[in-house]
Structure 1
Amino acid sequence: MTELIAYLHQILVLCRKELLALFKDPSSRVVLVAPVLVQSMLFGYAATYDLNHIYYAVLDQSHSEASAKLLNRLDGSGVFERNVTLTSPQQIPQAVDRLDAMLVLSIPADFADKLQSGEPAPVQVIVDGRNSATASSALLHMNRVITSFNQQQQLSNAAIQITRRAWYNPNVESRWSMMTAMVATLSIIQTLMLAALSVAREREQGTFDQLLVTPLAPMQILAGKAIPAIMVGLVQSTLVLLISLFWFGIPFRGELWLMYLALLAFTGAGVGIGLTISAISLTMQQAMLYTFLIILPLMLLSGLITPIDNMPEILQLSTWANPLRFGIELIRRIYMEGAVFADIAHDFIPLLIMAAFTLPLAAWMFRHRLG
């Protein structure tokens, strides 16, 4: 028992030493907190697929009461904003090419006559497709306005009406999906970097050799490096969680203890990867290079931007070695869905396997350095 207490005490002393080395420099404290706050705001406000303002141009060749009602419905939607009024079809390419309008609505001259006779009255919608995501969203908003206009004019004779309801995100706001994913994403970026630089920094400063001659075992060195990095990752995740909850007002539906259990498993897997990089790297420059090389693939293969099911099968298989994939899935399901442990237990297994592989691998490499 006494030996166990002494063993744990040595680990705590090493953790204290790591935290002091990390926080004694004011610039280091700023780097750990400021990027998380800034990036949370940037992703919350800028990285959103929601279109709240769609600038459009109109070519109204009908000049009728019906076309005026359609345009009034567009202008009163709160989403569409008329930026250009065209007088000829030849002006359409210029409006799109010069980015004056994301969308051009062309109403033919016989629009009102066809409506009055009960015939289909097509209108042409030209969308700037250089950004497929915004183009699809703009067309979706336009379809909603056209459908509403048809219902008002009592032109739809369909007996079946579709009522849509989005679970877990009633207004289908991309910010909700993005910010809940950022709870895991923003923390792993700095956690990986912190863990990857921990040993490489000591090698450059010449203190790693001093660490090796201490009576600490390789597993104690590993624990002393991993625990502070995990603590920093959890604090950063907490900051993003608080911003999502209180600044952006995204309701938290899950259980807090389960959220932190998921974050602990996810951060442990990320720290294991970072410490393995740190054990491989001889300099801080190498550690930073290796970290930057894997961060972008981790994010692209995580499901943050594109659904994993849409990826080629070989890439889908590679995501099983990506802790960020399971971290994002766990956080989103706990935060937005209110999932319980039984619903998400299977997502813990890959994270635990990654941690069980990378942390002993890093310890073996420390032991190899000792030899």
Structure 2
Amino acid sequence: MFARILTLVVKELEMLLQDRQSRMVLIVPVFLQLALFPFAATLEVKNNTLAIFNEDSGRESAELMQRFSQARAFSELITLYSETEVRNAIDNQTALIVIRFPQDFSRALAAGRTPRIQAILDGRRSNSGQIALGYLQQIVNDYSNERFATAQKYPPSSLVVRHWFNPNLDYLRHILPSLIALITSINALIVTALSVAREREQGTLDQLLVSPLTPAMIMIGKIIPAVLVGVMQGTIILLAAIFVYRVPFAGSLLLLYGCMIFYCLALSGFGLLISSVCATQQQAFLGLFCFVMPAILLSGYASPVDNMPGWLQILDWINPLLHFIVIVKGVFLKDIGPMALLPNIYPLVIIAIATLSAANYLFRRRLA
């Protein structure tokens, strides 16, 4: 039995590697995404324009303007002179944020009062605006604390911030572990989703059925190449993250690879489930696309899962990408042990068993 399955696995790998287009699909996207994602798919805010509408002529507002110009989120600072220019700067997306100093800003500070500064954000770029506003608020807080210290007074409160597991808020430490899950998922799904549909479309499925292989052996022979491809691509990204982008790896390789195998099995189940109900590779590819996009959007990669409605969080439990992103980040950055990751490991096992069983049932039923 094992020799027959091994023969089918070798045959599947040969079909993937001997075709130039298949090799390109498996290899080129990995290196392309490794080169682009860490720099393009970032939540950092850079190279934006800050506009200042200063109705005050005092020294304090000029000093704060100078500090704002050094904020890392902004590469350009422009000065506005009327409310019409303020509206045009936001309407035409000339500036991400407009800061407006009132006329009595410096006088209020000199009198010991707390003046207000107005910040006008472009709501069409709300996420970037909120992040950039956080930089500006930190500058204002630092300035206020310095004035309290100069006046030999204590500020009302002082918040000391420490970032565990990512002290410098390096976005590469967020992107690259997640990239292991994203690229592995796409390619493992492609290998499995197109496998049975390709055999059916090319007419070679009947040849497999009259061979000594049982339907279960055929399914196993389709799963193993997908797992091997997924683990290989995950290894490439892991090595690039550690040795090229210098992201420290704090956890256990054995735990990471063990979870990666369960993850690839869960993906293979979804891929075979799609492939079993599709008659052609085109249908399988469309089905794959319909699964991948929601899975990525609901994985917590771009937005927190806690922000989603309760019913959607429950439905998202069957998303293997959600669980593996938590695992890979925990192992990569936090050195989390298997017991702490158990709430994310056992769903992968359950998803793999359920989807592979459903795919096997549909495969047998269509053959009958």
TM (norm. structure 1) is 0.94
Task: Tell me the secondary structure at the aligned position of residue 194 of structure 2.
Answer: helix
* Structure 1 counterpart of 2:209: 212
- Which of 289, 312, 315 is 1:292 aligned to? 289
Shift of 1:366: 3.2
Contact 1:195 1:225 (C-alpha < 8 Å) held by counterparts: yes
Q: Percent identity?
A: 36
CA-CA distance at 1:275 after TM superposition: 1.0
* Aligned partner of residue 55 in structure 1, secondary structure: strand
Task: Write the letter of the residue equivalent to 2:223.
Answer: A
Residue 222 of structure 1 corresponds to 219
Match of 1:199 among 191, 196, 199: 196
Does the alignment pair 1:36 with 2:13? Answer: no
The aligned residue for residue 124 of structure 1 is 118
* Cα deviations by residue, 1:138-171 (Å, 9 ceiling, x for unpaired): 1101100101111222277435421100111112
Matched, 1:57 2:51: yes
Name the CA distance, whole Å, in 2 between partners of 1:256 and 1:125.
47
Q: Secondary structure at the match of 1:51?
A: coil
Match of 2:60 in 1: 66
Q: Which amino acid aligns with 1:364?
A: Y
Cα 1:350–1:86 shift into 2, 3 Å: same
Mapped pair 1:98 → 2:92? yes
Q: Which residue does the alignment assign to 2:16?
A: 22
Moved more, 11-20 or 94-103: 94-103
Letter in 2 for 1:145: I
Answer whether contact 2:197 2:284 (CA < 8 A) is retained. Answer: yes
Which residue is equivalent to 2:345? 348
Give a deviation string over 1:61-90, Cα, whole Å, max 9, x none: 223221221112122344333432112222
1:146 is matched with which residue?
Answer: 140
Alpha-carbon distance between aligned partners in 1 of 2:154 and 2:91, rounded to the nearest angstrom: 39
What runs of 5+ residues in structure 1 fail to find an aligned partner?
Answer: 1-6
Find the aligned partners of 1:343 and 1:238 in 2 and give their Cα distance.
23
148-157 or 211-220, which moves further after superposition? 148-157
Paired with 1:157 and 1:110, the residues of 2 have a C-alpha distance of 24
Equivalent position to 1:264, from 258, 261, 264:
261
Q: Distance in 2 between matches of 1:241 and 1:193?
A: 21
Separation of aligned partners in 1, 2:80 and 2:366: 73
2:119 is paired with a residue of what secondary structure? strand
8 Å contact kept, 2:71–2:136: no
Distance 1:349 1:99, change over 3 A: same
Residue of structure 2 equivalent to 1:10? 4
**2: CA distance between counterparts of 1:113 and 1:171?**
37
Task: Give 1:20 shift.
Answer: 0.4
Task: Give, in whole Å, the separation in 1 of the partners of 2:367 and 2:70.
Answer: 72
Flag structure 2 segments of 5+ consecutive residues without an equivalent.
Answer: none
CA RMSD of aligned residues (A): 1.7
Q: How does 1:242-321 map to 2 (within 5 A)?
A: 242-321=239-318
Distance of 1:163 and 1:145 partners within structure 2: 14
Letter in 1 for 2:239: L
2:237 to 237, 240, 245: 240
| TM-fit CA distance, 1:369 | 4.0
Shift of the alpha carbon at 1:353?
1.0
Please, which moves more after superposition, 172-181 or 56-65?
172-181
Q: Could you tell me which residue of structure 2 aligns to residue 3 of structure 1? A: none
Counterpart code for 2:297: L
Q: Distance in 1 between matches of 2:91 and 2:316?
A: 39
Which of the numbers 133, 137, 156 marks the counterpart of 2:127? 133
Q: Aligned partners of 2:96 and 2:287: how far apart in 1?
A: 40
Which region of structure 1 is more displaced relative to structure 2, 235-244 or 273-282?
235-244
